[in-house]
Amino acid sequence: MAQFQAVKGAKDIFPEEIVRWHYIEEVIRSVTALYGFSEVRTPVFEYTELFQRGIGSTTDIVGKEMFTFLPDPNGRSITLRPEMTAGVMRAFLQKNPGGGVPVHKLYYISDLFRKERPQAGRQRQFTQFGAELLGVSSPAAVVEAISLMMQVFGTLGLHGLKLRINSLGDLEDRSRYREELRRYLEPYRDELDEASRERFEKNPLRILDSKNPAVQGIVAGAPKLLDCIKPEGRAEFDRVLGYLADRDIAYEVDHLLVRGLDYYGHTAFEVVSSELGAQDALGGGGRYDALSKELGGSAEIPAVGFAVGMERLIIAMEKQGLFAALSPRGPQVFVVLQDAGLEEHAMRIADRLRRAGVTTETDLAGRSMKAQMREANRLLAGFALFVGQDEVASGNFTLKNLRTSEQVTLALDAIPGVLLESSKL
């Protein structure tokens, strides 16, 4: 029988890599705290309609990438969450049905599921760190979200990132622009690729971010979305840009940036890294004021948020050598026993050391002393404690410092103190 493998697009994470996750998570928790964000956890699945309404039924995510199933024959269709924003908004609305609540600042580090073909920086189960600011979407709020995201990157030591930003305007602006774009593209219709021709009908804005060089050439001369935005919207966007400049956050206005999810409006942004290969977006976000009503909320709740791909973050950090300082920590002591007959003594001693707060490893496989010493070395143990007939009889034990190779003989009671003292250095 063939051995089982992890499901396509799903990854196991072992201790060597977990230390990286812990490190990044720690940074995220401390930086979000600086900005007053608190963690939120929502269910991994939601009713399918939530995503259809929230993300938009014409998007690829909803159209072909969701893991959807029926829990029982007559049950409602359920979907493993492909993103977090819709779920967080749903949770918020469910908790605060009447609205009229103060601003909420929430962050999450959560697993998501998308049925895509895996490739570099893309998995079917993946993790996003993200933050949502609910109740305001003022220029100050937008900049707070962006600056939180950038500060996380900065604290992690990432460099060479590019922040791209654009305004998508409101619904009216966009429909006006849609027509203008169609008028511009009409003459080039035959030169567009098949996908773009289809988008011409359904969602012409998405032609803008095509990767096809021929299409990019055509699109380069297209009218700009920003020019179709009403003066108020334009003024707000300029304030966002002003605040960013004030904060020394470098950005680049990208007229071709249109986010793929339907709920975005006004300011949208993304951060790309050249370390990532084809899937170069490290994070992205924007305002989504329209989402709350789309999900049945009684009032429109202004909101801004962003999401960052954790696996991509790890790839980029790895490429920049930012994990070098993460040194593995071994046990403070390894209890080495002379022969298997002393196992009981060794276990008792290990127990005593652990109760005293000393991280302790011991041989569990009844192996030779040489093998035990090798194991101690492999585990990067600080000390070896020898347990033999003589020690048990006399109550005095040999403790060897595995860095310096120095040995001392000590009464058992003195050992925890020595070990705890030495690990402070």
Partner RNA sequence: GUGAUUGUAGCUCAGGUGGUUAGAGCGCCAGGUUGUGGCCCUGGAGGUCGGGGGUUCGAGUCCCCUCAUUCACCCCA
Q: Residue numbers of the site for RNA (CB under 7 A)?
A: 2, 5, 8-9, 59-61, 65, 83, 114, 116-123, 126, 128, 195, 199, 206, 209-212, 259-261, 270, 277-284, 307-309, 311-312, 338, 367-371, 373-378, 384, 386-391, 398, 400, 402-403, 405, 407
Cβ proximity to RNA: between 256 and 356 the closer is 256
Cβ proximity to RNA: between 81 and 114 the closer is 114
Cβ proximity to RNA: between 84 and 241 the closer is 84
Cβ proximity to RNA: between 92 and 264 the closer is 264
Q: Cβ 2 to RNA, closest distance in Å?
A: 6
| Residue 258 · residue 225 · CB < 8 Å | yes
What is the DSSP annotation of 299-339? S---EEEEEEEHHHHHHHHHHTTTTTT------SEEEEESS
Phi-psi region of 357 (alpha: psi -120 to 50; beta: other; left: phi over 0): left
212 backbone dihedrals φ, ψ, rounded to 5°: -70, 120
Q: Cβ 245 to RNA, closest distance in Å?
A: 23
| Residue 147 · residue 165 · CB < 8 Å | no
Cβ proximity to RNA: between 37 and 288 the closer is 288
Q: Cβ 15 to RNA, closest distance in Å?
A: 15
Q: Cβ 370 to RNA, closest distance in Å?
A: 4
Cβ proximity to RNA: between 55 and 241 the closer is 55
Q: Cβ 331 to RNA, closest distance in Å?
A: 13
Alpha carbons 368 and 163: distance in angstroms, whole number:
58
Q: Which residues in 58-73 are b (16+ Cβ under 10 Å) and which e?
A: ebebbeeebebeeeee
* 3-class secondary structure per residue, 345-373: HHHHHHHHHHHCCCCEEECCCCCCHHHHH
Alpha carbons 8 and 74: distance in angstroms, whole number:
29
Phi-psi region of 135 (alpha: psi -120 to 50; beta: other; left: phi over 0): left
What is the DSSP annotation of 109-125? EEEEE-----BTTB-SE
| Residue 111 · residue 125 · CB < 8 Å | yes
CA dist list (Å): 102 to 204, 209, 241: 38, 37, 26
Cβ proximity to RNA: between 96 and 155 the closer is 155
Q: Cβ 410 to RNA, closest distance in Å?
A: 12
Cβ proximity to RNA: between 96 and 216 the closer is 216
Q: Which residues in 259-286 are b (16+ Cβ under 10 Å) and which e?
A: bebbbbbbbbbbbbbebbeeebbbbbbb
Q: Cβ 402 to RNA, closest distance in Å?
A: 3
Cβ proximity to RNA: between 36 and 157 the closer is 157
Cβ proximity to RNA: between 101 and 425 the closer is 425
Q: Cβ 298 to RNA, closest distance in Å?
A: 27
Cβ proximity to RNA: between 238 and 413 the closer is 413
- Count of residues for the chain? 425
- One-letter amino acid at 236 equals E
Alpha carbons 35 and 77: distance in angstroms, whole number:
37
Q: Cβ 261 to RNA, closest distance in Å?
A: 6
| Residue 127 · residue 109 · CB < 8 Å | yes
Q: Cβ 292 to RNA, closest distance in Å?
A: 18
Alpha carbons 250 and 100: distance in angstroms, whole number:
35
Q: Cβ 72 to RNA, closest distance in Å?
A: 25
Please count the other Cβ atoms lying within 10 Å of the Cβ belonging to residue 200: 18
Q: Tell me what percent of the chain is helix, strand and coil, each rounded to the nearest 5.
A: 45, 20, 35
